[in-house]
Amino acid sequence: MIKVGIVGGTGYTGVELLRLLARHPGVELTAITSRGEAGTAVADMFPSLRGFVHLKFSDPKDAPLSDCDVVFFATPNGIAMQQAAGLLDSGVKVIDLAADFRIKDVALWEKWYGMTHASPTLIAEAVYGLPEVSRTQIRGARLVANPGCYPTATQLGFLPLIEAGCVDLGHLIADAKSGVSGAGRKAEIGILFAEASDNFKAYGVPGHRHLPEIRQGIARAAGKAVEQVGLTFVPHLTPMIRGIHATLYARITRDEDFQALFEARYANEPFVDVLPPKSHPETRSVRAANTCRIAVHRPQGGDTLVVLSVIDNLVKGAAGQAVQNMNLMFGLDECSGLSQVPVLP
């Protein structure tokens, strides 16, 4: 059994990790940390886990994390980079669900995240954990940077087109919407029920932290420099709890059978579902599942492709993808613990 520790188990991604790992056949939950809730039974905070998780939250300084085989960081940005080196030196593998190791350019990371990186030498080693791109590298990794939710939906939607080189790399648009759980489990005016319900708004238009992550991934897929990627990324907050819907626009430079292109690219991917022509994927069709559903459209036969990509931001966009990465790192069936059918309604 793989001994698992979770640092920061009280947020939405933390409890989602607990939900998935509690029923994983190859996992033994060993430690779950929280400074503020140390000593509290996990099931008292999250009644949904009653009968499935029997641990109490422990203070990070007392938690037996070095006894684990893998530790997940479900923490705010800036935490994993301070603790990862010590765990790695102890032989523990690390999966960071925050952004500490996603961006390879340290100066660029520091610019967007507004802090000095505590472990810049580990950035080069960290493997970006998008299995549909880096499966082989993930299998041999000891440190995985789990992708962000917007970047996951956006990259999976653009990827076949970028790899085929049939769209204009300099004029890409990602118009993405997220439910309020993407903002985390914290008290914040903008995500209060009375503020977010019956409302719809864009945010981060001048620049969002996920922009450099997406551009980096697109550049890698294209085999080009990041500076050659022209991406306009606009996120929106929608009045729902879970889900991301990314509407992606790309200018065609070479004709292809685009439906066949997507179907071939993802034919062997267990968690990417390319829908039939003329489909419109819905966020509720992936709720609570580690699935990305994609549809490809060419409106009026014009020169612009529209790709629709939906995921659950807490599963394929965070905890589910992290478990998928853990499975790969330990040589398990990639789908182990991730066979949940989406929830409807």
Indicate which residues carry an active-site annotation.
Answer: 149
Give yes or no for a contact between 182 and 149, defined as CB atoms under 8 angstroms apart.
Answer: yes
CA 306 – CA 326 distance, rounded (Å): 33
Q: 161: Cβ–Cβ under 8 A, 6 or more apart, which residues?
A: 167, 250, 258, 261, 305, 307
CA dist 158 → 138, 210, 265 (Å): 21, 15, 11
In order, the DSSP letters of 74-120 are -S-TTSHHHHHHHHHHTT-EEEESSSTTT-S-HHHHHHHH-S--S-H
Alpha helices in 203-279 (DSSP H): 210-222, 258-265
CA dist 259 → 156, 256, 297, 301 (Å): 14, 9, 8, 13
Q: Indicate if the alpha-carbon torsion angle 220, 177, 94, 140 is positive or negative.
A: negative
Strands 143-145 and 201-202 turn out to be unpaired
32: closest CA among 48, 266, 13, 274?
13
Give yes or no for a contact between 86 and 132, defined as CB atoms under 8 angstroms apart.
Answer: no
Backbone angles phi, psi at 191, to 5 degrees: -110, 10
CA dist 31 → 8, 63, 82, 96, 210 (Å): 10, 6, 19, 16, 30
